[in-house]
Structure 1
């Protein structure tokens, strides 16, 4: 090919993002930011529930004690997803084990939801 043709081809060959590509990336970034912003409090609450359940298992000596200790910690940490009555309290080798399960939803669009399901127990 001649030098003139090569220069002409490279002049029309563009690199980078198109407008629609930029819009797509922008929409994706906004959606990820919105979902992440709603997910962070859910995971922070789960950490508080873990801590309260561990404290209740450590300090409680009976099922009502464990539930009361959990409810007091839930009031302090503003836990709304689960209550002491929702805890399953068992004994394993003279050690109290607290199990719980719950779910939280984030509305996405229309009938679509993002659901987080938590199913954990103390050790």
Structure 2
């Protein structure tokens, strides 16, 4: 009785093709581009939120609140809004400062990424 040796079936190659690699790199670069443009905008939003809460605690009148925000804006290099863009009200004898603004990131051609920010000093 003759014994036959059968070789194991060849398994398909596994891995990333060149086109797959190019696609992966394109996606990674796109995400990196959006992230590098978004991080400064988000850091500015944090500075605005902090300055709004500080201005609400320091000021008793609309002029005082706006001046306090403008001082903090000069220190933190806030360019998106100024004191005149703030809405200052009183609720239960407490000063409440609200803001709302948008920022755009140009992506390619007519495509933009739009950020809309809104907040208030009364938000916890």
* Superposed pair shares fold, TM > 0.5: yes
Q: Which residue does the alignment assign to 1:95?
A: 94
- TM-score normalised by the chain length of structure 2: 0.91
- TM-score normalised by the chain length of structure 1: 0.92
Q: Deviations over 1:53-99 (max 9, x none)?
A: 01110000100110011011100110000010000001011101100
For 1:107, what is the secondary structure of its paired residue? strand
- Kindly report which structure 2 residues correspond to 1:47-62, keeping only aligned pairs within 5 A, or say none: 47-62=46-61
Unaligned runs of 5+ in 2: none
Q: Which residue does the alignment assign to 1:120?
A: 119
Q: CA–CA distance in 2 between the matches of 1:108 and 1:14?
A: 37
Runs of 4+ aligned structure 1 residues displaced above 2 Å come to none
Q: Which residue does the alignment assign to 1:77?
A: 76
Q: CA–CA distance in 1 between the matches of 2:99 and 2:39?
A: 20
- Aligned CA-pair RMSD: 1.1
Unaligned runs of 5+ in 1: none
More helix by share: 1
